[in-house]
Amino acid sequence: MKKTQTKAQANPRPKQPSATGPNAKASTNGAGALANSPSRRNPHGIPDYRLEIPNFRTVEEWINGEFRYSVEGDFSAPAPPLRESKYLTKEKTIELYRYMWLNRKMEQTLENLFKQQKVVGGVYLGLGQEGCSCASAMALRDGDWIGPMIRNQGALLVRGFKSRDIIMQYMAKADAPTGGRDAGSHFGDQREKHVVAPISMLGDLIPVLAGVALGARLQGKSIACLTWVGDGGQSTGPTYEGFNFAAVQKLGVILIVENNLWAYSTPVERQFACKDLADRSIGYGVPGFIVDGTDPNQVYDVTHEAAQRAYAGEGASLIEAKMMRMRGHAMHDAAAYVPKPYVEYWKKRDPILRMEKYLLEKGWLSEEQNKALIDAAQKQIDQDREFADASPFPEGSTAGERVFCDNSVQIPFAYGGPKVQKVEKRKAGSASDVAHFR
């Protein structure tokens, strides 16, 4: 045991300059220099890219002997334009816009299938959140991983799953990615698309994505691992455990906290006591950011920069995307607890309508091209629905299969195999006699 290691051997993480520029002012939370300048900083120094800062809050009141939520604040402001993206080209912007439409059309189809009772179980919609899901997933490279939650179905489409895959998942069909073993967006792909299947318990993907980044690093590769959690899900213990682990190990986890104001029926005021969830980045010791979750350009740019830091071995980032869940928790939930002014306000901030206006005004799409794009998305979804409808249910008798993976299976390495220092073979030697209990 005489061999000494240099620090570099013990901790061989790539040291490259950050993708962010050298001249911008460093934030107090260690966000470093930013090429893409924020609109402001919040009271704790967190860069905030939003073009408007809504000023309203949910309050509790008793009306005619009933408890209900109402709102305080000014809801009259018109929706601002999208921010210009520093990184999205015209082609990429249109591609993003197309994914957003596919996401929405697919979910509208799922709603119809639910009403026709062709869906088994519940349907969870990401209405109003398509821009955030699609733009953030698009900011990654092929070798990166994502861990999507139920409202990130758009991210699954961006990663290369077909809408038919998702529709078949909801219909519990044999040709669905899990073959009917799990529901809805609960599926993944380890080998090609690099998607971790979520479980219903919240926050649990965060430490898993940290582990994926760790596995990649042991194979000599710094990757970005993107996952999302809601304002409700971030209350869980695994959120803290997982993100702290990523921060300590400097793993390239990008955590997007989708603050959509409602955790099922519980408003954010009953979920956390701080004003901005991005403030938590200070406690983790990682850069934090605030974006408008209904502005895909803001989401893309900040995620893109977070990914660049991940590739450079600079560790994790926390992005709070503020928006609103525009439907109930699932199809059965009419969301009657949400005060009307909220709905009106956020309807004006529909990410697809905002992106449509942006593209038309910029002249990147003509009215005809826009219509053709939307029609093509609808046509794709219609075909996929027919395909899904025709797929059979799985054979009941196959329920017992695949609990274990056969040991003859060769599990491949995602990045070519471990790149760890070679060790000379020698005996393990003996442990000392010190022990916690005798």
Partner 1 sequence: MTTYLEAIREGIWEEMERDPAVFCVGEDIGVYGGAFKVTEGFIHHFGSERVIDTPIAESAIVSAAFGASLTGMRPVAEFQFMDFISSAHNQIVNMVAKANYRWGAPAPLVLRGPSGGGVSGGPFHSQNPETYYAHTPGLKVICPATPTDAKGLIKSAIRDNNPCLFFEHKFLYRRVKEELPSGDYTVEIGKARTHREGRDLSVITYAAMVYVAQKAAEILAKEGIEVEIIDLRTVAPLDREAIADTVKKTNRAIILHEDTKTGGLAGEITAVINELAFDDLDAPIARIASLDTPVPFSPPLEKFFLPKVEDVVREARRLRRY
User: Which amino acids are annotated catalytic?
Assistant: 325, 329, 337
Is residue 227 within 8 A of residue 147, CB to CB? The reply is: yes
Residue 69 φ then ψ, to 5°? -100, 140
15 makes contact with partner 1 (CB under 8 A) = no
Q: From CA 135, how far away is CA 143, in angstroms rounded?
A: 17
Which residue, 96 or 210, is less far from partner 1 as judged by CB?
210
Give the Cβ contact number of residue 240 at 10 Å.
17
Contact pick of 10, 63, 273, 334 for partner 1 (by CB under 8 A) = 10
CA 261 to the chain's CA centroid: 16
Site residues for partner 1, 273-332, by CB under 8 A, read none
Type and span of the H or E element at 58 = strand 56-63
Give the shortest CB-414-to-partner 1 separation in angstroms.
4
Contact pick of 107, 165, 182, 258 for partner 1 (by CB under 8 A) = 182
Fill in the per-residue mask, 224 to 253: x = in contact with partner 1 (CB under 8 A), - = not in contact.
-------------xx--xx-xx--xx----
Which residue, 182 or 292, is less far from partner 1 as judged by CB?
182
175 makes contact with partner 1 (CB under 8 A) = no
216 makes contact with partner 1 (CB under 8 A) = yes
Instruction: Classify residue 315 as left (phi > 0), alpha (psi -120 to 50) or beta.
Output: left
Contact pick of 1, 8, 334, 390 for partner 1 (by CB under 8 A) = 1
**Residue 189 to residues 64, 126, 136, 161: CA-CA distances in angstroms?**
52, 21, 18, 9
Give the shortest CB-359-to-partner 1 separation in angstroms.
36
Contact pick of 63, 334, 390, 434 for partner 1 (by CB under 8 A) = 434
Which residue, 208 or 310, is less far from partner 1 as judged by CB?
208
438 makes contact with partner 1 (CB under 8 A) = yes
Q: Is 193 helix (H, G, I), strand (E, B) or coil?
A: coil
Which residue, 286 or 290, is less far from partner 1 as judged by CB?
286
Q: From CA 340, how far away is CA 143, in angstroms rounded?
A: 43
6 makes contact with partner 1 (CB under 8 A) = no
Helix, strand, coil shares of the chain, percent, nearest 5, are 35, 10, 50
Give the shortest CB-146-to-partner 1 separation in angstroms.
12
- Strands annotated E in 161-261: 225-230, 253-259
218 makes contact with partner 1 (CB under 8 A) = yes
**Residue 142 to residues 112, 148, 223: CA-CA distances in angstroms?**
33, 16, 10
Fill in the per-residue mask, 135 to 174: x = in contact with partner 1 (CB under 8 A), - = not in contact.
----------------------------------------
Which residue, 392 or 429, is less far from partner 1 as judged by CB?
429
Stretch that binds partner 1, among 260-268, 346-354, 384-392, 412-420 (CB under 8 A): 412-420
Site residues for partner 1, 196-215, by CB under 8 A, read 196-197, 199-201, 204, 206-215
Within the chain, how many helices (H) and strands (E) appear? 12, 11
Which residue, 157 or 208, is less far from partner 1 as judged by CB?
208
Which residue, 47 or 177, is less far from partner 1 as judged by CB?
177
Contact pick of 92, 181, 193, 357 for partner 1 (by CB under 8 A) = 181
411 makes contact with partner 1 (CB under 8 A) = yes
Contact pick of 188, 230, 293, 339 for partner 1 (by CB under 8 A) = 188
Instruction: Classify residue 361 as left (phi > 0), alpha (psi -120 to 50) or beta.
Output: alpha
- Strands annotated E in 151-214: none
Q: Which of 349, 309, 313, 132 is nearest to 227 (CA)?
A: 132
List b or e across 287-325, with b for residues whose CB sees 16 or more CB atoms inside 10 angstroms. bbbbbbbbbbbbbbbbbbbbbbbbbbbbbbbbbbbbbbb
Give the shortest CB-15-to-partner 1 separation in angstroms.
16
The tokens of 403 are what?
């609990």
Give the shortest CB-385-to-partner 1 separation in angstroms.
23
Q: Which of 190, 201, 110 is nearest to 153 (CA)?
A: 110
Stretch that binds partner 1, among 48-56, 287-295, 334-342, 396-404 (CB under 8 A): 396-404
